[in-house]
Amino acid sequence: MQKKDFRICKKLNTGRQFISLLAVFLLCTQLSAHSGMFWGEKKLRVAKTQWFDIIYPERCEKSAVILYEKADTVYEEVAGQYGLTPSFRMPVVITPAVEQFNAFWTAIPYNHIAIYDTSVAGSSELAVFSETLLSTFRHELTHAVTYNMKSGFWRGVGKIFGDGVAPGMLTVTTGMAEGATVTSESAAGEGRLNDEYAKHYVKQAKIEGAFPSYHDVSGSADNAPSGVPYFFNGAFHQWLQEKYGMEPYAEFWYRIVNGKNLTVAKAFKKSFGVKLRTAWTQFEEAYEVPEVAANPVKAGLVYDFFEPERSGFSRLNDAGFLYGSLSSAAGRLVWLDKYGSRVFEADGYSDGRSSSKSPAPAVHKLFSQQGISGVRLSNDGRFLAVSYMSENAPGPVARIKLYDFDRKSFYSVKEKGLKDGVVVKDGAGGFYLVAQKYFDQNYSIVIYKLLLEDSGRRVKGTELHKEIKLDAEINPFAFTALNNGAFAWIKKNRLTYSLCVTSLDGALLSEFVFPEGMAVRSLSYAEISENSTLSPDTATFYFSYTQKGTLPRLGKLEVDGALGDVGHLQLEMSARLILSSQDISGGIFESVLWNGKIVYIGKFLRQNRVLCLRDGTGSAEIMEVGGAISGEAAATVEDIAGAENGGDVGEASIGSLIFETTPYKPFPYLLHGIFMPLSTYQSEYFGTKETYASNIYDFMIGATYITANPWTSGTDDLYTLTAGFNPVSLATGVSLTINKGTETSLFKSQTAIKSEFNKNGWQHGGIVSDISSVIEIGRISSIIITNTATALFNSQSNFSVSDTLKLQYSNIRKTGPGRFERGGFGVAVGFGKRYIAPLDSPDKSLLDLSVVSAGLKICISHLLPFESKYGSTYNLPLTAGFTLLPSSSNYGYVDIEQDSIPVEGLPAITIGHPVFDASVEVVAFSMDIQKALPGITAIYLNDFYINLGYSATGTAGSASKNGFQAAHLPEYFGAISDGRGYYLDSAYIKTGLELTPNVGLFASPNYQMELYVIYSYTIHSYKELNPQERIRLLLGFSMNGF
Identify the top-confidence range among 342-356, 724-738, 889-903: 724-738
Instruction: State mean pLDDT over 520-549.
Output: 79
DSSP 975-1001: HHHHTSSEEEEEEEEEEEEEEEE-SGG
For the chain, residues classed under CATH 2.120.10.60 are 302-627
pLDDT tier, 638 (very low <50, low <70, confident <90, very high otherwise): very low
As a whole number of angstroms, the distance between CA 75 and CA 141 comes to: 7
Contact (Cβ atoms closer than 8 angstroms) between residue 359 and residue 351: yes
pLDDT in the model for residue 599:
97
Cβ atoms of residues 444 and 436 within 8 Å: yes
Mean pLDDT value of segment 290-309: 96
User: What's 34-158's CATH class?
Assistant: alpha beta
Residue 156, pLDDT score: 97
DSSP state of 1031: E
What is the length of the chain?
A: 1042
pLDDT at 726: 84
Please enumerate in sequence order all residues whose Cβ is within 8 A of that of 947, keeping only pairs 6 or more positions apart, or say none: 921, 922, 923, 924, 989, 990, 991, 992
The span from the CA of 542 to the CA of 562, in Å, is 18
Looking at every residue in the chain, the average pLDDT score rounds to: 89
CB 130 within 8 Å of CB 190 = yes
Helix axes 228-244, 174-186, angle to 10 degrees: 60
| Predicted local distance difference test score (pLDDT) of residue 352 | 40
From the list 126, 225, 121, the residue with the least C-alpha distance to 604 is 225
DSSP conformation class of 194: G
For residue 839, what pLDDT is reported?
Answer: 87
Straight-line distance from the first to the last Cα atom of the chain, in angstroms, rounded to the nearest whole number:
54
| Sequence ranges of the chain with CATH classification 3.40.30 | 34-158
More confident residue, 712 or 620: 712
626: pLDDT strictly greater than 90: no
Work out the pLDDT band at 625, boundaries 50, 70, 90.
Answer: low
Residue in 958, 860, 838 with CA at minimum distance from that of residue 909: 958
Q: How many CB atoms sit inside 10 A of residue 247's CB?
A: 11
**pTM score, whole prediction:** 0.91
Q: What angle do CA 1028, 1030, 1035 make, to 5 degrees?
A: 100
pLDDT greater than 60 at residue 652: no
Beta strands in 40-108 (DSSP E): 44-48, 52-57, 90-95, 103-106
Secondary structure in 3-state letters for 924-961: EEEEEEEEECCCCCCEEEEEEEEEEEEEEEEECHHHCC
Residue 919 CA to residue 879 CA, distance in Å, equals 8
CB contact set of 847 (below 8 Å; sequence gap of 6+)? 834, 835, 836
pLDDT at 365 exceeding the cut of 60: yes
Local confidence band at 42 (pLDDT 50, 70, 90 cut-offs): confident
| Strand ranges, E, within 281-412 | 302-304, 323-329, 332-337, 342-346, 363-368, 372-377, 383-390, 397-404, 409-412
Report the b/e string of 639-667 with b at 16+ CB within 10 A.
ebeeeeeeeeebebebeeeebebeebebe
pLDDT digits (tens, 9 = 90+) for 769-827: 999 999 999 999 999 999 999 999 888 888 999 999 999 999 999 999 999 999 999 99
- 387 pLDDT more than 50: yes
Count of other CB atoms within 10 angstroms of residue 532: 18
Q: Give the model confidence (pLDDT) of 100-117 as tens digits.
A: 999 999 999 999 999 999
Q: Which residues contact 422 (CB under 8 A, 6 or more apart)?
A: 376, 377, 378, 385, 433, 434, 435, 479, 480, 481, 487
Q: Residue 659's pLDDT is what?
A: 77
User: What percent of the residues of the chain are helix, what percent strand, and what percent coil, each to the nearest 5?
Assistant: 20, 40, 40
Q: Is the pLDDT of residue 14 over 60?
A: no
* pLDDT at 930 > cutoff 90: yes
Rounded average pLDDT over 174-178: 97
Instruction: List pLDDT tens digits, range 1018-1034.
Output: 999 998 999 999 999 99
Q: Which residues pair with 844 in a beta bridge?
A: none
At residue 547, the 3 state secondary structure works out as coil
State the average pLDDT over residues 16-26: 55
CATH architecture of 302-627: 6 Propeller (2.120)
Pick the residue with more confidence: 279 or 757? 279
Number of Cβ within 10 Å of residue 357's Cβ equals: 8
- Region 631-652: mean pLDDT is 34
The span from the CA of 328 to the CA of 384, in Å, is 10
Calculate what percentage of the chain has a pLDDT beyond 90.
Answer: 76
> What does the pLDDT look like over 269-297, one tens digit per residue?
999 999 999 999 999 999 999 999 999 99
Of 118 and 10, the structure prediction assigns the larger pLDDT to 118
**What pLDDT is stored for residue 620 in this prediction?**
63
Q: Is the pLDDT of residue 567 over 50?
A: no
Spacing of C-alpha 52 from chain mean position: 28
User: What contacts 615, CB < 8 A, 6 or more positions away?
Assistant: 356
